Amino acid sequence: MPSLEVSSPITGTVWKIVTQVGDRVEEDQPLVILESMKMEIPVPAPEDGVVEAIRIAEGDAIAEGDVIAVLRTD
Amino acid sequence: MPFEALLDELARRRAKALAMGGAEKLEKRRAQGVLDARQRLDYLLDAGTFVESGLLATSFRPEMVEKSPADGKVAGFGAIDGRPVAVVSNDFTTLGASSSVVNGKKIRHVRTVATQSGMPLILLGESAGSRMPDRMGAPGRAILGQDAQEYLRDRRTPWVSALLGSCYGSSTWYACLSDFVVMRKGATMAVASSKVTALAIKQAVDPEELGGWKLHTAVTGLVDVAVDTDEEALDYVKRFLGYLPSYNGEAPPVVAVPAGSDDAIADILDVVPESRSAVYDMRAVIGRIVDRDSMFEMKPRFGKSIVTALTRVDGRTVGVIANNPMFKGGSIDVDACNKATSFLVLCDSYNIPIVFLVDQPGFLIGMEGEKRGAPGRIMNWMNALSLVSVPRVTITLRKNFGQAYLNMGGGRNSDEAAAWPSADFGFMDPATGVNVLHGLKREDDPERFDVLMKEIARDSAPWPLAGLYEAQAIIDPRETRAYLKSILQVHRRAPTGGIGQHRLQHWPTSY
């Protein structure tokens, strides 16, 4: 099963991490929630899969394109 | 019996053509759970309606005649839900349904008749590309390109493609010219096969990576929807056509309104958060406004911060373009721009009124977008919107910031504008506005910051816009469905029977 890096669509701050390593997630399910442009912006899973790694911590400042998590996809 | 020998010969030839590439190859497909070209037509078309064109056509090469039943492409006419259609179903068991002189003539004939008689054209793709040696050398060139209209797309009738196997050559080209494309997972679409590509670039190529469903639904946007089986793909083809007219000279079909369609709007206030920093999935809003279960999303995995969906309101087809705050906060990126533009082209070409549902903080700014030519994509969208001649209604739910206000139908770019009381019209978010206009950050002077922010927010409320008659109505969110039903009726364009000018019908395909 291939691994898929999920990167941030946007520059912002990590507000909440809402999944854990090992969680099975569905496409569009939020992995983490960022704060950007005065909004809470979820970063959703681009595909169904299992969370293999989370590469950021709550409060981190991140840039567009930074890897947030790694999914093992079906 | 008179004619006996001739009729026997006809029966023999027909049976041979219907046997396609032979029992062994057909059995192998059955074992894989994949339908063959004729089973696909049986599933797609109303029973007993298929009229075949070219059953006895074969390769023109004498040595290939016996090996090329129907020359690998089953073509003809039939009906779906009682409405006439033209079809080409590729028979991969016959020489990989490769493109040849004779089957090229079949496609051309069916395509021409579809346009002349006002029928959608359906292409069931699964083909290997050019047939060799037909296309080799100078004689091959002399065959190719003899029809200068072969790849003309003028949207006089809808075209739909289903990609149901390995698709190279004609299956790929026609999919990219189509108004809707569905792909079976496991099928591939590319310019050249993984084998040919691997030879050309001297490295291993994974077919799925080269042209699988994930690439085309999420990255290229060339495929609208991916499904698991042939049957599901064909169901999608039928459903899509149910929203469209048979040709551009008629209005889309009107269907009965499902019972309970007026009920779902009741809890809309619980779906959209009042807090401007919280997000929600716009698709839940659309589902509550339109007729029950009528939302047919185009390109759902591509450019997700914009939703484009065919829907019905009061039984009539309506195209919805909506921002989705769930993705990138609803900020509009390059993919979302291309998705919106291609949807405008679809709606304008087939007389489908457009409704904008707006909740967007602006275009997504950043390096990535600029590298991909974001300003050009934004203007492409505006150019398309300026040419649209079907009715346009825009409803602002919450944020409606910046230049994107125009792209989402602001000002004279709609025939009618309404807003919820929660609407917020400004050039940017009020908090950002204080930064930009007054050079003040909240941490410097929180008290003054809040005063200035309130000032900006007051100016951007919907009331002044209503006062200036730039919004023709401010509506309770729970009135949204009723409002749309009435206002679309008001803009029915009776003198033309709802038929637009189709100034986008010649626009480029496959954004």
Ordered by where they begin, the domains of chain A are 3-73 (2.40.50.100)
Taking an 8 Å cut-off on Cβ atoms, the answer to whether B361 and A37 are in contact is yes
CA atoms within 13 A on the CB side of B495: 1
- A36 in contact with chain B, both atoms CB, cutoff 8 A: yes
What percent of chain B is modeled with pLDDT above 70?
Answer: 100
User: DSSP for B42-104?
Assistant: HHHSPTT--EES-TT---SSGGGGGG-GGGGEEEEEEEETTEEEEEEEE-TTTGGG-B-HHHH
Put simply, the answer to whether B329 touches A65 (Cβ < 8 Å) is no
**B446-459 vs B430-438: helix crossing angle, rounded to 10:** 110
Provide the CA B339 distance to its chain's centre, in angstroms: 9
User: Which positions in chain B touch A7 (Cβ < 8 Å)?
Assistant: none
pLDDT at B116: 98
Pick from B445, B359, B430: nearest CA to B394? B359
For the beta carbon of residue B48, count every other beta carbon within 10 angstroms: 7
In this complex, the residue of B278, B327, B367 whose CB is nearest that of residue A44 is B327
Beta-carbon contacts of residue B351 (< 8 Å; ≥ 6 apart): B245, B248, B250, B251, B252, B390, B498, B499, B500
B329:A46 CB<8 A:
no
Q: How far is A28 from chain B (nearest CA, A)?
A: 9
* Chain B interface includes A64 (CB < 8 A): yes
3-state secondary structure at position B239: helix
- Neighboring chain B residues of A27 at a CB cutoff of 8 Å: 301
Q: Which residue has the higher pLDDT, B387 or B440?
A: B387
Interchain proximity A39–B277, CB inside 8 Å = yes
Question: What are the CA-CA distances from residue A4 to residues A13, B109, B187, B228 (Å)?
Answer: 22, 46, 21, 21
Q: Which residues of A touch B277 (CB under 8 A)?
A: 38-40
Q: Domains of chain B, with CATH numbers?
A: 4-241 (3.90.226.10), 264-423+461-496 (3.90.226.10), 429-459 (no CATH)
Of the listed ranges B205-209, B364-368, B386-390, the one predicted with least confidence:
B364-368
Mean local confidence (pLDDT), B431-458: 85
Give the separation between CA B133 and CA A18, rounded to whole angstroms. 58
> Closest residue of B to A35, CA-based?
B277
B436: closest CA of chain A, how far (Å): 13
Residue bearing the bigger pLDDT, B139 or B380: B380
The partner residue sitting opposite B277, judged by closest CB among A27, A40, A46, is: A40
Whether the pLDDT of residue B276 is over 90: the answer is no
pLDDT value, residue B180: 98
For the CA atoms of chain B, what is the radius of gyration?
26
Left (φ > 0), alpha (ψ -120 to 50) or beta: where does B299 sit? left
For residues A30-57, give the mean pLDDT.
Answer: 92
With CA atoms as reference, the chain B residue closest to A2 would be B209
Residue A26: list chain B partners with CB under 8 A: none
Q: Do B331 and A37 touch (CB under 8 A)?
A: yes
Give the closest of B277, B364, B366 to A38, CB-based: B277
The pLDDT value recorded for residue B511 is: 65
**What CA–CA distance (Å, rounded) separates B449 from A20?**
38
pLDDT band at B367 (very low <50, low <70, confident <90, very high): confident
Task: Name the residue among B424, B358, B426 with its Cα closest to residue B396.
Answer: B358
Render B441-490 in DSSP notation, one character per residue: -TTT-HHHHHHHHHHHHHHTSHHHHHHTTSSSEE--GGGHHHHHHHHHHH
Q: Distance of CA B370 to CAs B218, B363, B401, B406, Å?
A: 20, 11, 19, 20
Averaged over B387-397, what is the pLDDT?
A: 98
The mean pLDDT of chain B is 95
What is the mean predicted confidence (pLDDT) over B5-30?
97
Asked if the Cβ–Cβ distance from A39 to B361 is below 8 Å, we say yes
- The beta-carbon neighbor of B214 closest among A9, A42, A47 is A47
Shortest Cα distance, chain A CAs vs residue B227, angstroms: 14
Average pLDDT for B324-348: 96
Q: How many CB atoms lie within 10 A of CB B196?
A: 14
A44 neighbourhood in chain B, CB within 8 Å: 326-327
Say if the Cβ atoms of A37 and B329 lie within 8 Å: yes
Min Cα separation B446/chain A (Å): 16
| DSSP structure class, residue B218 | I
Q: Determine whether the interchain pair A37/B276 forms a contact, defined as Cβ–Cβ distance below 8 Å.
A: no
Q: Check pLDDT > 80 for residue B428.
A: no
| Pairing mode, strands A61-62 and A12-17 | antiparallel
pLDDT confidence bin for B383, thresholds 50/70/90: very high
Position B419 scores a pLDDT of: 98
SS3 content of chain B, % helix, strand, coil (to 5): 45, 20, 40
Confidence of residue B430 (pLDDT cuts 50, 70, 90): confident
Residue B139 has pLDDT above 90, yes or no: no
B445: Cβ contacts below 8 Å, ≥ 6 apart: none
The answer, yes or no, to whether the previous bond of B133 is cis (omega within 30 of 0) is yes
- DSSP assignment of B127-138 equals EESB-TTTTSHH
Contact A52/B at CB under 8 A = no
The 3-state DSSP class for residue B337 equals helix
Q: How confident is the model at residue A57 (pLDDT cuts 50, 70, 90)?
A: very high
A38: distance to nearest CA of chain B, Å?
6
Distance between CA atoms of residues B232 and B274, nearest Å: 39
Residue B437 CA to residue B401 CA, distance in Å, equals 15
- If you write DSSP's letter for every residue of B247-284 in order, what string do you get? STTSPPP--PPPTTTTTGGGGHHHHS-SSTT----HHH
Phi-psi region of B503 (alpha: psi -120 to 50; beta: other; left: phi over 0): alpha
Q: Indicate if the pLDDT at residue A7 is higher than 90.
A: yes
**Which conformational region is residue B169 in: left (phi greater than 0), alpha (psi within -120 to 50 degrees), or beta?**
left
Taking contacts as CB-CB distances below 8 angstroms, the residues of chain A near B325 are: 39
Chain B residues touching A40 at Cβ < 8 A: 277-279
Nearest CA in chain A to B275: A39
- Rounded to an integer, the average pLDDT of B89-99 is 97
Residue B267 and residue B288: Cα distance in Å, rounded? 9
* Nearest Cβ partner for B329 among A36, A46, A47: A36
Find the mean pLDDT for residues B36-48: 98
- Whether residue B142 contacts residue B134, with contact meaning beta carbons closer than 8 Å, is answered with no
Average pLDDT rounded to a whole number, residues B394-411: 96
The residue among B458, B452, B429 whose CA lies nearest residue B440 is B452
Interface touch B429/A11, C-beta < 8 Å: no
ipTM score for this prediction: 0.86
Instruction: Please report the pLDDT score of residue A1 as a whole number.
Output: 65
Place of tokens 């919907």: B462
Residue B282 near residue B328, CB atoms below 8 Å: no
Residues from chain A that touch B366, judged by Cβ atoms under 8 A, are: 10-11, 64
